[in-house]
Amino acid sequence: MPGIVGIIAREPSPEYSRLAADMASSLCHDSFHVSGTYSAPELGVYCGWAAFKEEVADSVVMDRDVRLFWSGECFPNDASQIGAETPPKQKATVELYRNQGPAFLDELNGIFSGLLIDERSKTSYLFNDRYGLERIYCHRGKDAFYFASEAKALLRVLPELRRFDDNGVRDFLNFGCTIENRTLFNGVELLPGGSVWTFANRQQTCRKYFSPDEWEAQPQLAPEAFESEFEQALERIVPRYWSRRRVAVSLTAGLDSRMILAFRQPFTIQNFVTRSLVRWAHRWTPKYQRNSLSCAA
């Protein structure tokens, strides 16, 4: 799965470059995945990435003295950028950082994780989206801080982590998942949603740039106002995901699919109805008749 990996070390060492490359390669599952590494020994930063071949430009941005290694997606809040032929390049995220500094995280919108390196200020930022949907697994070692989009990348280079965490296993058996940022592995934790780790001068600090309370504490809307606001939100949000590229939508007949398609402009009802009926007919037609149905479609 595409993602990012890295090591933030107290003291530089060539060994960390090899480990970062090994971690990045562990994220490549198919021939259409590629990986790479980047090192800034003077900052103690050794990182890597894995991405689809055609999406490398959006995963790695080298812009003068700022480096951004990105995983996930990010959509603009600016209505003028909606409907672009492709999702906005992450170079726009770098420009946002140049203009606003660390506060740029408040403007990001999507499911993402990233490592931003500012060589001018000799500061690095490791961050994720507001709810931690794009996961970052971490290990705080004695001499270095390790992170990766998949836990197995950490296990690849740190054999001592290859044992179960008792509390994590207990969570999994009781709830079907781990809680409180624990994982199944001892010494491996999840980066909480809406977090940013800052590394500078061989020191590290962690803070939350977002709390759900900020949204949950908003004034309650009356039913009429909610309906109007909800409609405006859909009109603003749905176009972000439609472009000139081909986009697939699951035809489950659920309310979410209906709302998305209702706000799709322009919308070709003939194409939608034809494919929907074929899909429905294929499900309920005896197997011996399906080949002729597929040919007719």
Average pLDDT, the chain: 82
119: tokens are 């060589």
Least confidently predicted of 118-132, 265-279, 283-297: 283-297
Q: Are 230 and 263 in contact (CB under 8 A)?
A: no
Residue 15 contacts by C-beta under 8 Å, 6 or more apart in sequence? none
Give counts: helices (H), strands (E), the chain.
10, 12
40: tokens are 């800034």
Residue 7 contacts by C-beta under 8 Å, 6 or more apart in sequence? 16, 19, 20, 23, 45, 46, 47, 144, 145, 146
d(CA 273, CA 271): 6
d(CA 100, CA 170): 43
Q: Provide mean pLDDT across the span 237-266.
A: 69
CATH 3.30.470.10 at 3-213, yes or no: no
Q: Provide mean pLDDT across the span 26-38.
A: 90
Please provide the distance, in angstroms rounded to a whole number, between the alpha carbons at the two ends of the chain: 34
Question: What pLDDT digit, counting tens, does each position of 92-109 carry?
Answer: 889 899 999 999 999 898
Question: What pLDDT digit, counting tens, does each position of 176-226 carry?
Answer: 999 999 999 999 999 999 999 999 988 899 999 999 888 888 888 898 899
Distances in whole angstroms, Cα of residue 147 to Cα of each of 69, 144, 151, 217, 272: 13, 10, 8, 33, 43
Closest CA to 5 of 46, 44, 33: 46
The residue behind tokens 């207990």 is 170
169: tokens are 């296993």
Q: What pTM did the predictor assign?
A: 0.80
> Is beta strand 123-128 parallel, antiparallel or unpaired with respect to 66-74?
unpaired
Boundaries of every domain in the chain: 3-213, 219-296
Q: Higher confidence at residue 287 or residue 108?
A: 108
- DSSP 8-state symbol, 286: -
